[in-house]
Copies of this chain bind each other. A is one copy, B any other.
Amino acid sequence: MTQPPSTPAPAIAQDGPLPRQRRTYSIGELAKMFEVTTRTIRFYEQEGLLAPERRGQTRIYNEKDRVRLKLTLRGKRLGFSLAEIREVVMMYDAMPDGNRRQLRRLLEILADKRANLERQLEDIRLMQLELDDVERRARDVLASLGDQKD
């Protein structure tokens, strides 16, 4: 991904105990970092959400890959499907040389996601009120149980 033509990525760059500028990650590192399994990461690649470089057979993830994974997981937490996430991600990548139709389509998708987020905000607000209510009642009952034994 990283388009910036710089930094040819020195093979292992073992120049200190904690290299301050870590540019690549193994699949295992990413897995721990985000608390997912390597299977998940490979699956996301298979689904077209990631496309790490290879050193021989081994996958090498760079900073951009890491960000993508982060965004993907965030999307998942918000209930988006991998297909939806891929839609935005791919459009985004194709953007620089996209034609009008594609760009307008992208804007449509974005508006759609936005509307979705707005509804989720409202849902969260309502849900919080419900939880407030349930909790208040639960505490009341607990209090009324004040001196009984169980």
Residues of A with Cβ closer than 8 Å to B?
Answer: 1, 71, 74-75, 77-79, 88, 92, 95-96, 98-101, 103-104, 106-107, 110, 113-114, 117, 119-121, 123-124, 126-128, 130-131, 134-135, 137-139, 141-142, 145, 150
Contacts and interface: CB of A to CB of B under 8 A. Distances in A.
A148 to B, nearest CB: 9
Given A95-B141, A98-B141, A138-B95, A75 B127 contact: yes
A123 to B, nearest CB: 5
A117 B113 contact: no
Contacts of A121: 121, 124
A106 B150 contact: no
A131 B75 CA distance: 12
Contacts of A128: 114, 117
B77 A119 contact: yes
Contact of A103 (B104, B113, B138): B138
A139 to B, nearest CB: 8
B134 A99 contact: no
15 contacts: A77-B120, A78-B79, A78-B124, A78-B127, A92-B134, A100-B145, A103-B141, A104-B142, A106-B134, A107-B138, A110-B135, A113-B127, A114-B128, A114-B131, A121-B124
